[in-house]
Amino acid sequence: MPTVEPAPREEQSRYQVRFDWGLAGLDRVAPAEITIVVDVLASGTDAELLASRAADRGAVVIRADLRTASAAADAAVAEQHRRAARTSIAVIAVGQTDASSGALRFAVEDLFGAGAVIDALAARGIDHSSPEAAAACEAFRGLRPALRHLLTASVTGQCWLEEGRRDAVLAAAEVDAAR
């Protein structure tokens, strides 16, 4: 079986809006002038580490989730206006770190959160998105009516439900509720 070489780091660099996952994803889409760290069902230290790493590289860091997607897009637009120039934006989904292996686990809620942010950016005219960003956006748009169900049915959502945190999961599914 042939091996697949990793994509060059600059693969998404021709796009204004880029999307990837976790610390490795941050490396792949760097450099970006703005990094939006998306963590819908808060993973805590993973999001903090991503935000810190992006800030260390000189990026303006914006934290986001489904409840703050439009506010995050507004902050990115304001930063672009402040710079008076087109500004590169990396949208990074946090995902979940597997406690036993340390590997990054896909977290569908963060895909939807990233998609909501990318959709909000597009609504504000920042729509030169990589295919990866466009796919996240369309996942959010297409499945938006089912977000409450999908978040409660997700792996992370199920863990939160087992901990008695159903109301928190349902609240996390409310798009732009924190505006």
Which stretches does DSSP call E strand in the chain? Answer: 17-21, 34-38, 60-64, 89-93, 96-97, 104-105
Say if residues 64 and 117 touch (Cβ distance below 8 Å).
yes
Count CB atoms within 10 A of the CB of residue 35.
28
DSSP secondary-structure letter at 144?
G
To the question of pTM greater than 0.85 for the whole model, the response is yes
pLDDT of 145: 98
- 125-169 residue pLDDT tens: 999 999 999 999 999 999 999 999 999 999 999 999 999 999 999
Percent of the chain with pLDDT over 90: 83
DSSP secondary-structure letter at 91?
E
Return the structure tokens found at 152: 């409660």
Say if residues 125 and 78 touch (Cβ distance below 8 Å).
no
When computed from its CA atoms, the radius of gyration of the chain, rounded to whole angstroms, is 16
Whether the predicted pLDDT of 1 surpasses 60: no
Report how far residue 157's alpha carbon sits from residue 173's, in angstroms, rounded to the nearest whole number.
10
- 39-87 residue pLDDT tens: 999 877 899 999 999 999 999 999 999 999 999 999 999 999 999 999 9
Whether the predicted pLDDT of 35 surpasses 70: yes
pLDDT of 99: 77
